[in-house]
């Protein structure tokens, strides 16, 4: 007599521009199985491998990774993958930079689109800065959306702020979600999940700060003068009785508010609400919604860069859970997420 048994099947994801694993951690928390991570930076790869030892890594230039090789490494065939994830480098779109339309870093999304077209996953997620939908960069955004749709997908972008998704940081990002056209499902985004978490709540019970860095030289004097909520320019003008703008990149946080967007440079960093120092390793992990146990590699500026470049895991967890329920489970039969096997 045949026996029927059920086996839970995890949805699958490949992460491009994986960094140290912020997105990967979010997918993991949402119950996904990551088949492959693609990343070229040595420090990011070293960090990723320490925290995700079971996930294969393609360490190299994504432009040299063919679709066939990607599928071979992941052990899949065309159309089998559930989600292709990617956060192409965004410095060329960032409002913190010069915002040059022809910045070569802006074209890396084409490599992502190339793999998307080759792999034909059920859905995709692409993350980038809000600068791509503002002013002269709006044309770049429209070009990206058209390119993704030309790969055979319905695509929709929305601006999400991580502070409404259990991340103690005000961090707006454009999240583009796409669904393969043959599935007949419209892409959608998760709704806010709660009120912002302030710094006092985020820093509660930190027992080991890890690496700490203190300002030196003129910066030390500026930081000592800064009040909660101020930037360095406020203190500089007060000390020097001048209207010259300097040190405006420094921000002293307030305990009763979330952190500001964590950028990749510690020199444009955030200062502790009451102590005259940059945020510690443990504190920037909390701001990025990384667990205290997440292993980082390198000095504090390097760790700051890794987390500043990452998608906050809790934000990606919310996105991944939304896709799993509202897209992937609608593409299966009567038992979404369950594989039915008959054993004779």
Among candidates 71, 81, 67, which has minimal Cα distance to 33? 81
The pLDDT confidence band at residue 336, using thresholds 50, 70 and 90, is very low
199-308 carries CATH number 3.40.140: no
- The pLDDT score that the predictor gives to residue 96 is 45
Collapsed DSSP state (helix, strand, coil) of residue 285: helix
What token pair was written down for 94?
Answer: 């960032």
Q: Is the pLDDT assigned to residue 328 strictly greater than 90?
A: yes
Are the beta carbons of 323 and 123 closer than 8 angstroms? yes
Q: List, for residues 84-128, the tens digit of each pLDDT value.
A: 999 887 554 444 444 454 555 557 888 999 999 999 999 999 998
Active site residues: 90
What token pair was written down for 230?
Answer: 């101020």
Collapsed DSSP state (helix, strand, coil) of residue 287: helix
Are the beta carbons of 16 and 86 closer than 8 angstroms? yes
- The pLDDT score that the predictor gives to residue 130 is 81
Residues 6 or more apart whose CB falls under 8 angstroms from that of 83 comprise: 11, 12, 13, 14, 27, 32, 121, 122, 123, 124, 125, 320, 323, 328
What token pair was written down for 2?
Answer: 């045949």
Q: Which CATH class is domain 3-194+310-343?
A: alpha beta
Domain with CATH 3.40.50.150 in the chain: 3-194+310-343
Q: What percent of the chain has pLDDT over 70?
A: 87
Q: Is the pLDDT assigned to residue 262 strictly greater than 50?
A: yes
Residues 6 or more apart whose CB falls under 8 angstroms from that of 82 comprise: 11, 12, 13, 32, 121, 122, 123, 328
Domain with CATH 3.90.120 in the chain: 199-308
Q: List, for residues 266-309, the tens digit of each pLDDT value.
A: 877 899 999 999 999 999 999 999 999 999 999 999 999 999 99
Q: Is the pLDDT assigned to residue 136 strictly greater than 90?
A: no
E strand segments, the chain? 3-8, 12-16, 33-39, 57-59, 83-86, 123-129, 153-161, 172-180, 251-252, 270-271, 338-343
CB atoms inside a 10 Å sphere around CB 9: 14
Among candidates 204, 224, 206, which has minimal Cα distance to 214? 224
């Amino acid at each position: 007599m045949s026996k029927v048994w059920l086996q839970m099947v995890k949805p699958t994801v490949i992460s491009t521009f994986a960094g140290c694993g912020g997105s990967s951690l979010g997918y993991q928390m949402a119950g996904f199985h990551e088949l492959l991570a693609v990343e070229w930076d040595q420090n990011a790869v070293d960090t990723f491998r320490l925290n995700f030892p079971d996930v294969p890594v393609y360490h190299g230039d994504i432009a040299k990774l063919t679709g066939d090789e990607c599928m071979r490494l992941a052990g899949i065939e065309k159309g089998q993958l559930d989600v292709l994830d990617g956060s192409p480098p965004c410095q060329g779109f960032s409002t913190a930079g010069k915002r040059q339309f022809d910045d070569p870093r802006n074209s890396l999304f084409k490599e992502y689109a190339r793999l998307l077209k080759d792999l034909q996953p059920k859905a995709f997620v692409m993350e980038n800065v809000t600068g791509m939908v503002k002013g002269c960069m709006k044309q770049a955004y429209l070009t990206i959306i058209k390119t993704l749709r030309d790969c055979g997908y319905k695509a929709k972008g929305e601006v999400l702020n991580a502070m409404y998704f259990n991340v103690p940081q005000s961090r707006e990002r454009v999240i583009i979600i796409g669904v393969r056209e043959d599935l007949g499902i419209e892409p959608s985004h998760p709704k806010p999940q709660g009120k912002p978490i302030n710094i006092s709540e985020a820093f509660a019970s930190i027992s080991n700060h890890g690496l700490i860095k203190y300002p030196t030289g003129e910066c030390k004097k500026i930081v000592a003068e800064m009040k909660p909520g101020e930037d360095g320019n406020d203190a500089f003008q007060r000390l020097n009785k001048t209207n010259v703008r300097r040190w405006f990149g420094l921000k002293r946080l307030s305990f009763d508010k979330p952190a500001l967007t964590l950028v990749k440079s510690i020199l444009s960093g955030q200062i502790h609400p009451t102590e005259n120092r940059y945020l510690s390793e443990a504190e920037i992990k909390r701001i990025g919604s990384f667990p205290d146990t997440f292993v980082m590699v390198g000095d504090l500026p390097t760790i700051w860069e890794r987390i500043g470049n990452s998608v906050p895991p809790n934000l990606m967890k919310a996105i991944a859970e939304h896709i799993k329920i509202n897209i992937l489970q609608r593409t299966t039969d009567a038992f979404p997420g369950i594989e039915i096997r008959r054993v004779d």
